[in-house]
């Protein structure tokens, strides 16, 4: 059913090459690829960033003063997104996600 899918068109954040994707909700999805291939660019910088952007937009002007806002991702359209919460906050870092997650 279409509304159960997250539909992404023309994702170009960082090195993404105009990705078009349909991703099911309520499933576990693994994004694989070599370091630098764009996994974080898709998961965090595109999908999560858009979810957070829309969530923050729904808040009052006053509440927004206290929140850090991400840049809106470089993407033509994202449909059926649910507002997002990153599982764990980390300082922005150019190093690999694997390195960041396992170096503490």
Ligand X SMILES: Nc1ncnc2c1ncn2[C@@H]1O[C@H](COP(=O)(O)OP(=O)(O)OP(=O)(O)O)[C@@H](O)[C@H]1O
Judged by the rule CB under 6 A, the positions of this chain that interact with ligand X are 14-15, 33, 35-41, 96-98
CA distance 37 to 59: 34
Closer to ligand X by CB, 6 or 46: give it. Answer: 46
Identify the three-state secondary structure at position 51. helix
CB of 11 to ligand X, least distance (A): 11
CB of 69 to ligand X, least distance (A): 15
Residue 100 dihedral angles phi and psi, to the nearest 5°: -60, -40
Structure tokens at 29: 């999805």
In the complex, the residues that contact Mg ion under the rule CB under 5 A are: 39-40, 97
């Amino acid at each position: 059913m279409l509304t159960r899918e997250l539909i992404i068109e023309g994702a170009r954040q960082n090195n993404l090459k105009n990705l078009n994707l349909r991703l099911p909700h309520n499933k576990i999805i693994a994004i694989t690829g070599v370091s630098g291939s764009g996994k974080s660019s898709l998961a965090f910088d595109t999908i999560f960033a858009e979810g957070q952007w829309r969530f923050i937009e729904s808040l009052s002007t006053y509440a927004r003063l206290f929140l850090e806002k991400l840049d809106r991702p470089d993407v033509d359209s994202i449909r059926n997104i649910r507002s997002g919460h990153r599982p764990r906050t980390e300082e922005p870092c150019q190093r690999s996600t694997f390195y960041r997650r396992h170096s503490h």
